[in-house]
Chains A and B, each alone.
Chain A
Amino acid sequence: MVTLLRVERLRVSVGGREVLRGLDLMIRNQEVHVLFGPNGSGKSTLLATIMGLPRYEVKEGRVLLLGRDITKLKPFERAKLGIAMAFQNPPRVNVKLGYILERLVKKYDDGILNELNALGIAHLLKRNLHHGFSGGEIKRVEMLLTLLQRPRVALLDEPDSGVDVDSLNIIGKVINKLIDEGASILLVTHMGHILRYIEHVDLAHVLIDGRIVYTGEPKEVLNIVLKKGYSFFKDASRRREMYAEIEGSPKGKS
């Protein structure tokens, strides 16, 4: 399968502090990858850097989309090439959601708006985007906007944080729709709640201190995370033990 997104030796600073310290990642066409990691390990920074948000300063390395170096492209140029992101903490925008949707639909020539009712956000159309929205509403709206962009690569930053079961269910459906439409997905999740709702996940990565320290089968990785915590991955001397615990050899690198 074609390599869609490749991240090479990426070093990124935010406000002068190095957050990503030489990170490599490869996502093929239509693959779904999950990113685990403790708070502050650099998960959101990785997604924001792939999206090209300012403040995230690439010191070294590059981001390639279908072999094209996009490291210096502006966010809207990346969006045009098919990268979209569901923000973890999106800013409040002083424009009504309905108006933003109208403009997005025009831009992406989309007919997905009939999903509105299914997503349970029709009542938010006349309100300014993310102003006083509940946690679940923010996540659902972010997922809808991402879906509307018909992305090739969807970067989903903790779509399952702080939401109730009903919202989880809906968000899972949107992710499955993205998968059905052939998007590749890079999904950050804190506790892995969302995984139960997704059709398939190909690989899981563990990100610690700005590096991917482990890549493997999603269920196994989640099990270890839940059972032993991230400290288990931090201690390099226990790598062997870790491998022993996971049956078979890991697909990725350590």
Chain B
Amino acid sequence: MELLTLRGVTKSFGSLDAVKELDLSVGEGCIYGLLGPNGAGKTTTIRMILDILAPDQGEITILGQANSSSVRDRVGYLPEERGLYRKMKVEPLLWFLAELKGIKKKTAKERTDYWLERFDLSDWRQKKVEELSRGMQQKLQFIATLLHSPKLIILDEPFTGLDPVNTNLVKEVMLEEKRKGASVILSTHLMEQAEKLCDQICLINEGEKVLDGSLKEIKANYGKNTVVIEYEGKANFLDDKKIVENYDDYGRYVEIHPSAGANPQMILKRAAQEVTILKFELVEPSLNEIFIQTVKKEGKWGR
């Protein structure tokens, strides 16, 4: 069953088209990356799924039903802009949020106990939110997202501001929920994270979908045509348009997409003349590179 489908969803704010004719579909038990640069329309799309904004056109179906308040009770949402009532105590706050999602008080209490334990916050249940550290507040908000056992979990930039330990914890829980059959929509502009976690992706730019599908297939389509070089020295050859279409240079590490008509051998030869090569490899392009290429092809990058 499709947990979420969007068909021809469009939203504009005055003359600005935030989302244009967007189609997407999210199946069961997967992590779905909703990817794009800042301002691409990710948050607007999510807000329409949650009926915080009404689409101008198009249709949104959740768990096979028309978008309604009761079906949205099965959706969990972690907004990018995070925060909680600062003056409320941890437990009553979680109970309140669970109750808003239609969970009975008794169940809410049990689940609160479970999650607080899981996230190592049990000692803080009687404290006010403002007494918690920033990291703890982030965990608390993540708990609030999961408390009603949602079938569809929407996480908007979930990793911003998390330390490595909590990042791991969040990842772990995401995979756990996926195994239980829930799906996670991961909205982010950080391609490295998405690349490791997502089964499926949808790239959007300027409100339009530019690419979607299974990450494995997308990568396979691009083939092993990306050159990775670890090097020492000054890599002037990177700017030779005859052999290098584009590149992503980190100073000692560079990912190169060869020009049409050039091949990896030619790049290796030129590179060997200019720098000391520590490692040379042919790989699938990174998601970041796919994204940059796709968007560049369209001739528009960011705003």
**A and B physically associate:** no
Question: CB within 8 Å of B: which residues of A?
Answer: none
